[in-house]
Structure 1
């Protein structure tokens, strides 16, 4: 079920992310899904099956791979997928790794596409 220690991110928060480079938006869909639909601006694609491994990378490895600073335990991380289910699982994984400021963009890509009229 998940431990529900994460909070819910809203469309407005996600829309404002270009103004908040310190926050990390992780798209946990498969790369093929991202190619199909496009991506939310600023998002980094880390499929759910690899989230734990990638969040355990050291700072240099993470930066080399994603051109973004690896989030520290207090940094805000928002996960999204297509509808929010996989994002919730990813949020649980991140919390298990000690990240304290984790959010799930409920509605995820489907909500984004609707709000953006894609």
Structure 2
């Protein structure tokens, strides 16, 4: 796993087309706290096979495209590296496990990151929050 965004960094992770934020907290947590804007929710404790699904299976289950697949294909056509997947949870423990799962699922370990301070750090820094609308996979 390449990148780690420690909680003592000078800034929270930037959300750009080259960074895909993946929130691995469970639906109940997301409903009570919200989610970082532009992040996608993939609750890996209750859906541990999520990153191993085919793109079609993933979209059927979660209602949105599998993170990184379209972006990687587009980057490859341009001769570029794809986006970095940055995982977060409440405090960072589940995010680290999710990063390991992503590597096992075939994502490029050099393009996998962990937001070390995760949700707690985001809130402490006054980061923006969106209400989580949820999907049918609860």
Q: State the TM bucket, normalised to the shorter chain.
A: 0.7 to 0.9
Whether the 8 Å CA contact 1:52–1:94 is kept in 2: the answer is no
TM-score normalised over the length of structure 1: 0.76
Q: TM-score, normalised by structure 2?
A: 0.67
Residue 49 of structure 1 pairs with residue 59 of structure 2: no
Q: Runs ≥4 in structure 1, deviation > 4 angstroms?
A: none
RCO higher in structure (CA 8 A, sep ≥6): 2
- 1:43-84 CA deviation, whole Å, 9 max, x = no partner? 111112255422223233444534345414743111000000
| Greater helix share, structure number | 1
Deviations along 1:82-115, whole A, 9 cap, x unmatched?
Answer: 0000000000111112212100000100000000
Unaligned runs of 5+ in 1: none
**CA RMSD between the two structures:** 2.5
Structure number, greater radius of gyration: 2
Residue in 2 aligned with 1:102? 112
- Equivalent in 68, 71, 74 of residue 71 of structure 1: 68
